[in-house]
Structure 1
């Protein structure tokens, strides 16, 4: 029946038209960011652009972004509502085509990526340090795709970033190129810990940000996601960070492995008064217990190295030292 009514086929989310619109939207947002955002947010630390060039690392070599395979597809955009704008690239796309990542939906609506809380926190703390005339590094442990790393480097602060998941490393490399911060960000393919060696990390497919050394910790919130066990290198922060270099801010988000990271940074954390870094670490009791540690164990250790002023902000703890007069 040539004239019979035919039902229209539903539009497929991954049709060529959709992919073209997605790619075009991403390029437009990147162009807008690069052409307009940078001039309105001057770098407050211009003297730090060459700082990383004088550092040498013996315990571990930095990750080589230039020789790393390029991940694809690339979906990146600017972040909304931060004083110093930056881009980051998604490693998880959600479940396509039915349930794309929320930031993909935002791109299709012409909106920037949702503002990560940690990005705002990092910029607020470093802005205060800058107004007080204090310079130094930001150390990002559990860097994920760089939401904290690029928040700091967008301000001109040098960054040492530690991330064990290869797919996330690829996305950080993209962010380094997009944000023009090759000379500010030093990236390490490793899990920070309390000893040199190797450890098994449980990578959670579809939620790489929830990957953890503890298999239980990795699947606490996403029990149905596939889990892949991989071997990664471990390195103590004290083996990487020179004693001569000041660290303004140390952020640790490692899904329950925080105690081991802190133990591996004993020298850094034992610095006197304001020479010691402002410390942010995730203090989630369920994740800590999955890694056979507790918040009390962490607080006792921090007290032993002089951190007696800690406050809770959601699931994060913020700890500082004061100069003794």
Structure 2
């Protein structure tokens, strides 16, 4: 499957952009204590975006937001992006615990600022279940939550439940249990460990978009989508009969499959189409990506996966809603032409 995007690189590019006060009256972005200190209850802020490292010096900025809200300043959309002091891959368990202590201290000192957030990104913290329960209970307005390198300890699932979160992104996190998220629409999970199940699904009735991406190594377990959408997840996709998948994909409208190795073929993707009767759009990207050669035989055996052609004979079925097929990496060869011919036989316009 697709390798996870380099989240840290994106963040470093964004960090280079200076926070600024917009000249537009309906799109105000404040990033300094002095500006916040001048707000009063008669002035409303349309959008507040603060990006800062999780250090002691940052508490003053957050406190300025807290004080402004205490004076009655209303903020329609408030976003905090809280960065770790180290790269996530460099953090030890002690670093995660230290970051968490500073994070919780900042939250205790500025409860109004966090209670008013509509979006939050947090990096490299280890939170106990009681901590996350208290935090999510406090963040009543939160609609978007992003966690990078966060967990609650080894072999422990971090339980998330919230009445308003609509967008959730998890990158390099431990196991996350989505117990009760009635408004969740989009879920992204990237870069999980092969030894940990990344997700445990609970009550997510409105989930429409699920994006999974990680770096595949040979020690990842096989992924059965029916099991993933029913309870938990691993990795490699294994084609399944529609009987197992149909209950989970019955409302799927758009399917995007990226970086399919050319050696594996694409005929096997019909098992997904067969299980999704309402599918309207199918996007496929075929890649001839070659991994960098590894001289060490043990590393090569562990990290480089063998790509073999996947045998799958689709059953005889029809789809009345499929209107769009996009193939990236298309070439006028037998594999692609045969696939398109079969799609045209399956898709019947109503």
TM range (shorter): 0.3 to 0.5
User: Structure 1 length as normaliser, TM-score?
Assistant: 0.33
TM-score normalized with structure 2 length: 0.31
Larger Rg: 2
- Greater relative contact order, per chain length (Cα 8 Å cut-off, separation 6+): 1
